[in-house]
Each structure stands twice: as structure tokens, then as C-alpha cells.
Amino acid sequence: MFERGSADEIRQWRGSLASLPRPADTAATIDRITELEKLKSAACAEQARLSAELEAMTRQERAEAGVRKEKQTAGVAAQVALARRESPHKGGRLLGLAKALTNEMPHTLAALQAGVLNEWRATLVVRETACLTLEDRQTVDREIGGDLKRLATMGDHRLVAAVKQLAYRLDAESVARRSRKAESERAVTIRPAPDTMTYVTALLPVAQGVGVYAALKRAADSARNEGDPRNRGQVMADTLVECVTGSPARQPVPVDLSLVMTDRSLLSGDDEPALLLGYGTIPADTARQLVAAAADAGLAWLRRLYTSPRAGDLIAMDSRARRFPAGLGRLITVRDGGRCRTPWCDAPIRHLDHPVRHADGGDTSALNGQGLCEACNQAKEALGWRARPRPGPRHTVETTTPTGHRYRSQAPPLPGASRPGLTRLELYLTDLVLAV
């Protein structure tokens, strides 16, 4: 038998789910789906309690070891993230949720435990009360989190509205202050979309956001009235590009790109896809169009990257310097696909890191180098974290957390990975006139 509550016992429950007999009829099928949903919520409630306990235990251990107060909980959110297979950013959010629920909002936690709220809706309640005093927050917790009957039928939107309404009634000034603070966080971000498209997202104060959307919609309506054959979405998107770049949407825009592709994809029409750094995989044909456009303008640089995944002249490149020289840094960034090497973290690379620290005798080489985002680089510096390169089919780093759990990350396969003998090329396309 297992120890009560051990990971082994929970693993056994999970295993038994897969071997349940099939439900007898459609009603029993629905019942099972509902119960499993509640089970997920109850598991989230338990994860919240455990995450908060992990932080409290870590703080106590480190306080006893004489660690300074501000360093006592460093890296805990990153451990939660790894354990839950999420990015460190999400790990931080989940740990914040866990602490708010366990320390300040017992009714909301109980609603999650009972399967009346799911984890996302519990997050919404916590998020919308973050600006309130503890006392006001507990009033919201009692009145909304404690009303299971009402909660059970609320969707995301109605739940947020109810919490906001009560929060505003309790403390209008804090809510207003928070909205002023939120305004300071306005930003524009970009992320890849399927089919070689991208989402450019602007986070704006509500009046400006609504204003931008209304102006684009007005432009689309008037273009359509004048017989423009483009649909509304197309006109809105083109108008946005025109207003921001100052040139017509279909006119080329100068950009710098870095592209990795195989020689055969470039020269012989092979269909092995290419990697566009900062974006992701693109079809070979699109890559060839980019290169042809750049080459026509005399703006393409090309160099052989390396010829096999494990060996090659560039892999052996190392340096006595503590910092990564530009060429080596470039190689590591390309090898890591431009994205942070921590498992489940997809953030862009911001730091070149020595898995074995320079101070501990780690050299500056591609083997002892990895690209990390800002948050992962900081987490790794926290007490009790170690990392080292390990043998593997591609560049592999093993990170050990303070609890002794080990996580391996492998560099992504680059174009041509499954086909030995292909030469990989990295192309720098600068000031490329991009008309896709």
C-alpha cells in the first residue's frame, strides 16, 4: 500500500480513471463528464494549498539557514511552474492565486474545492479583488465566494461584473487607483498565428481601445460603400498597417530577419520548412520568396551554420571570456530556436547563460551555453538550483531544483534535423523589402 496522500497514491487514482467501464447510456456519460470537471477543480484547490505550503516551508527553511528575507522565497514560483508544466510567468500567477485563496479567501477556495468554480474563475475573483484591503477582500469572498448557489450558474463575464460591482461599492477609490495604474501598463505585443500570420495586440485604456476599433470600422464601412472589394476585416487590417507604418499596406516594409534553412530547401526546391527566428516555422516556399526578395536587393548574408546536429566547427567554438562573444552567442540563439530553454517556457531569449557557472569552472562554449528569458535566468540564480549539460541526441541541459527534481530541456530540432547530410544555413536578411 502507498502512504496516504503520496504522489504514488494519486498516480494510482489517475491510472484507475483510464480503466473505468464505459458509461451505460448518454445520461451516465454526461454525469461522468460533470463529475470529472469537479474533480479537476478539486485538484486545483489542493494544488493551491500545496503551492502556498511550499512557499511557507521554503521561507522557514531559509530563514533558519540565515538567508536574507527578500531572498527567502526566490525561485519558488519557478518550481511551481516546472511542477505544473507551465511558463514561469504563469507559475508566478498560480502561486499568487494559491496564496490569496489559502490566506485570504477561504470561501472562494471552498467553492473551487466543491467544483462550483473552476481554477480560471477563482483567478478572476482573486484578480478583481487584488486592489482591495484585506477586510474588503474578505467581504467579497464571503458574499460572492460563499454563495455557492449563485456562483454555480455564473459565467466568466457575470462573475467579473458581480465582483467589480461589489468591489466598487466597498472601495471606489482603490478601484479608480487601480485603473490608473493599469493605464501605465499599456503595451503592444506580437505572437505567431497559424498559417504564417501574426497577432499584434495592443493593450490600451478602454476609451482609446474602443476609439481605435471604431475608427477602423468606420474606415471599412466607408471603403465598402465606395465599392471596395475587400471585406470589412481586410480593410480594417490594411488601414491599421497604413496608419502605423505610414505606407500603404501592400507596399514593402524594411525589416531585418534571421532565417535557418537547409541548402536543399534554398537551392533545390526541397520542401523541408525553414525557421524564422522570433516567429517560428515557415514553409520552404515562403522562405525562398523572402530570400529571393533580399538577394535581388543585395541584402542577404549567408553562412554555413553546422553540418550535423552533434559535431561541426561552430559547435566546438569556445572562448576564454566570461561573456559569450557575438558569434558564439548567435549560434546558441539559433540552436535554441530563439526561445528560452526552460521546459514549458516559450519566452524569447534575453540572456545567454552558463549552465555550469563561470565561477564554478564552467567554460564559455556552445555546450555550456543556453538561451534563457529574464525570469528563468533569475530563477536559476536562486538558492539550491543547479544546471549542467548532459549527453543527448541534441544539446541537452538538466536543471535540478532545490527539492532535487530534475528537468531536462533539449534544443529544438532545426530544419533538416531528421535528415542527416543536409547543410543548414543561416541567412541574415537585413533591410529586407518585405512584400508578402
Q: Is 113 in the site for Zn ion (CB under 5 A)?
A: no
Residue number, 277 or 376, with CB nearest to Zn ion:
376
Residue number, 78 or 422, with CB nearest to Zn ion:
78
d(CA 373, CA 345): 8
Nearest approach in angstroms of CB 375 to Zn ion is: 6
Q: Is 78 in the site for Zn ion (CB under 5 A)?
A: no
Beta bridge partners of 371: 352
Q: Report the amino acid identity of residue 201.
A: T
d(CA 29, CA 262): 50
CA nearest neighbour of 379 among 414, 343, 339, 410: 343
Residue number, 279 or 344, with CB nearest to Zn ion:
344
Nearest approach in angstroms of CB 326 to Zn ion is: 22
CA nearest neighbour of 37 among 116, 107, 102, 106: 116
Please, what is the Cα angle at 97 between 91 and 101, to 5 degrees? Answer: 150
Please, what is the Cα angle at 304 between 301 and 305, to 5 degrees? Answer: 110
d(CA 200, CA 11): 41
CB 341 within 8 A of CB 379: no
Q: Which of 376, 397, 427, 429 binds Zn ion (CB under 5 A)?
A: 376
Residue number, 109 or 382, with CB nearest to Zn ion:
382
Half-sphere exposure of 260 (CA within 13 A, CB side): 27
Residue number, 139 or 370, with CB nearest to Zn ion:
370
Choices 65-73, 109-117, 198-206, 365-373; region in contact with Zn ion by CB under 5 A = 365-373
Q: Is 219 in the site for Zn ion (CB under 5 A)?
A: no
Cell readout for 144 is 460572492
Choices 67-75, 117-125, 179-187, 334-342; region in contact with Zn ion by CB under 5 A = 334-342
Residue number, 215 or 347, with CB nearest to Zn ion:
347
Q: Which of 98, 131, 373, 432 binds Zn ion (CB under 5 A)?
A: 373
The 285-324 site mask, x for binding Zn ion (CB under 5 A), equals ----------------------------------------
Helix (H), strand (E), coil (C) string for 82-115: HHHCCCHHHHHHHHHHHHHHHHCCHHHHHHHHCC
Nearest approach in angstroms of CB 341 to Zn ion is: 7
Residue number, 57 or 190, with CB nearest to Zn ion:
190
Nearest approach in angstroms of CB 344 to Zn ion is: 9
Nearest approach in angstroms of CB 181 to Zn ion is: 26
Choices 187-195, 357-365, 376-384, 408-416; region in contact with Zn ion by CB under 5 A = 376-384
Residues 337-356 that bind Zn ion (CB under 5 A): 340, 342, 345, 347
Alpha-helical regions (H) of 232-357 = 232-245, 263-267, 284-296, 326-335
CB 128 within 8 A of CB 160: yes
Residues 6+ apart with CB under 8 A from 12: 2
Residue number, 43 or 347, with CB nearest to Zn ion:
347
Choices 324-332, 367-375, 379-387, 421-429; region in contact with Zn ion by CB under 5 A = 367-375
Residues 6+ apart with CB under 8 A from 270: 262, 264, 284
Alpha-helical regions (H) of 129-249 = 134-140, 148-151, 156-170, 172-183, 206-225, 232-245
Q: Under rule CB under 5 A, how many of the chain's residues touch Zn ion?
A: 6
Q: Is 81 in the site for Zn ion (CB under 5 A)?
A: no
Residue 77: how many other CB atoms lie within 10 Å:
25
Nearest approach in angstroms of CB 77 to Zn ion is: 12
CB 87 within 8 A of CB 344: yes
Residue number, 41 or 401, with CB nearest to Zn ion:
401
Residue number, 122 or 376, with CB nearest to Zn ion:
376
Q: Please tell me whether residue 390 adopts helix, strand or coil conformation.
A: strand
The 15-34 site mask, x for binding Zn ion (CB under 5 A), equals --------------------
Residue number, 107 or 395, with CB nearest to Zn ion:
395
In the complex, which residues of this chain contact Zn ion (CB under 5 A)?
A: 340, 342, 345, 347, 373, 376
